[in-house]
Chains A and B, each alone.
Chain A
């Protein structure tokens, strides 16, 4: 009976099954890849020649289309000459999984071919640095503007129409301009990531902030919160978990802009590595490098999600953590210097009552 419940609409799955499915979601495409790579009858459109035989233009280790190989075989057989030999292979641009897996290790160990070229880890480091700078600069400007636009109609009307227009301008279109203004090294790349991230960021965050439950704001108003305190003590904390999620998604977008940014000016970072390896026809390294971007992106997202559970304890069901976590400063009054207790007018009744 239990297996029938797998497909219950909107039904919670048991945790064990969830983990199984998560693993399966990775295993399935991998299995497909394995099938294509290791089962010759699935695809393998080429034949790798091991013995050229009498075919004059065949050479050892040459890949020829199957039909051509068969035609040549038939021709040689008819002429009673030595037949070529070979085995079926996939094109060179589709290496089998084990080679790519191996490349994850070997790519780091292989020294660059030319003395001036960076190692893989240097390329990756360069990419991560570029993306962090771009995202940081964008966030320093974008998050406050987003919060202002979400909180006040004034700023929303002042900034958002232009930003809405600007976000349709594709960031790569600014490549030449950025190089002309900022040179050929890292600054134009950071600028591209900034342009790609910033405008989306303002709009997304403004929208998130606008979605803060208005009854929370009203409750705070009846409790005597003034305008700026409402922003600081209600609107920001009420939206911060969603803003944090937005930032995680935006960081993912920044990775897509990275590849564009890195071909601007002098090619650098992981893109340079991928291009070089493709030029050398080391496609296993190419796949490994692309997968590494995925691993870094996905891994950093999981890491940030975990950090989120520490930063925002109220989102968890369990208890026992200090309120506010590292963001405590947001949730408390900054050192109220006035230490005099407010004396309530006409207080005949004990308020609150004596025990």
Chain B
């Protein structure tokens, strides 16, 4: 069908450096594991399983992306991990302890803007610190450092409604990281942003992650985003819902958007594409012809 011929290597092909990188990651302690997780929706007589049998071990300072078609329950997975939703089976373990609700060891960045509009940027970042029992002056110093890290020190006294979408999400990241979580859960955090801002935010996030000891669980539906950010990519599917594949990302670090045409990137993306967007089977001849121009244009 396609005239373009590319020699795309198998996505599993890893250079020795990449293989060694994953070996090193796997030697790190597992801080976080999901055991046989199951989630159902609906009333008792009409229950639909969203996913089941989801089991994952996540090592310290790993960057995990979760992708999947809409409805596969990837956001639900994030919410269960954050402690906002309850699972219908299985468990989520942090350092071997089952989690029961939201806790300071897990930070979350939501897709929507969830900064508190009545607090200034600085006070938003201080919120989690104060909830943890830190006194105001220490919290303020700490909040300033975090705002400095996300490059928004100048805006510490602004209110959220004075910031752009990207800036709001940077504050949200600073707010989630400030209380020192072991794992940062990000539920399509850049989904509401325009493409350019999103690309910037991805680079920002990688920079921040390099400086902070935090494991990231990143939900997205954007294949390039997952390829750019992740160490490993958890692909989820629907019917039956659950893990389709847990892919090691061969694109070497440090990453840059320039790698988008590298063979590893393309190989991985092709693989993800096949999982997420399986070829649509439509008999082309049967498609109705609508709104053809009368000028006799050659339409491909």
Contact = CB atoms under 8 A, between A and B. Distances in A.
B161 A317 contact: yes
A222 B116 CA distance: 13
Contact of B114 (A215, A225, A344): A215
A333 B130 contact: yes
Interface string B112-143: 10101111100100011111111110100010
A355 B175 CA distance: 19
B90 interface: no
A353 B212 CA distance: 7
Interface in A203-229: 213, 215-216, 218-226, 229
Interface string B144-175: 01101100000001111110000000001001
Nearest to B211: A353
A341 interface: yes
Contact of A344 (B123, B180, B211): B180
B82 interface: yes
Contacts of A338: 133, 135
Contacts of A346: 213
A219 B162 contact: no
A253 B120 CA distance: 35
Given A323-B120, A336-B130, A351 B213 contact: yes
Given A222-B82, A319-B159, A338-B135, A353 B149 contact: yes
B213 A219 contact: no
Interface in A326-355: 331-333, 336, 338-339, 341-342, 344, 346-353, 355
A216 B133 contact: no
B209 to A, nearest CB: 11
B119 A331 contact: yes
A238 B116 contact: yes
B28 to A, nearest CB: 12
B133 A332 contact: no
A329 B153 CA distance: 24
Contacts of B179: 223-224
B116 A216 contact: yes
Given A317-B161, A319-B157, A342 B118 contact: no
B72 interface: no
Interface residues of B, number: 50
Q: Give the dominant DSSP class at A's interface.
A: loop
B205 to A, nearest CB: 15
Nearest to B213: A349
Given A219-B110, A221-B102, A223-B175, A342 B213 contact: no
Nearest to B29: A346
B131 A223 contact: yes
Given A215-B110, A342-B133, A352 B159 contact: no
Given A225-B131, A342-B134, A351-B180, A215 B102 contact: no
Q: Which of B149, B159, B162, B211 is most buried by chain A, counting CB atoms within 10 A of its CB?
A: B159
A84 interface: no
A172 interface: no
A313 interface: yes
A271 B148 CA distance: 63
Interface in A126-148: none
Contacts of B149: 352-353
B104 A215 contact: no
Given A349-B213, A353-B149, A222 B107 contact: yes
Nearest to B138: A341
Nearest to B180: A344
Contacts of B158: 319
A223 B105 CA distance: 9
A287 B136 CA distance: 57
Given A222-B108, A238-B118, A323-B123, A349 B159 contact: no
Contacts of B101: 221
A312 interface: yes
A89 B63 CA distance: 88
Contact of A218 (B84, B103, B107, B133): B84
Given A314-B119, A339-B138, A342-B180, 19 more contacts: A215-B110, A219-B108, A219-B172, A221-B84, A223-B107, A224-B132, A238-B116, A312-B118, A313-B159, A314-B161, A317-B161, A317-B162, A319-B162, A323-B157, A336-B130, A336-B136, A338-B135, A346-B213, A355-B148
Interface of A: 213, 215-216, 218-226, 229, 233-234, 237-238, 240, 312-314, 317, 319, 323-324, 331-333, 336, 338-339, 341-342, 344, 346-353, 355
Closest 5 CB pairs of A and B: A223-B128, A349-B213, A219-B114, A222-B108, A224-B131
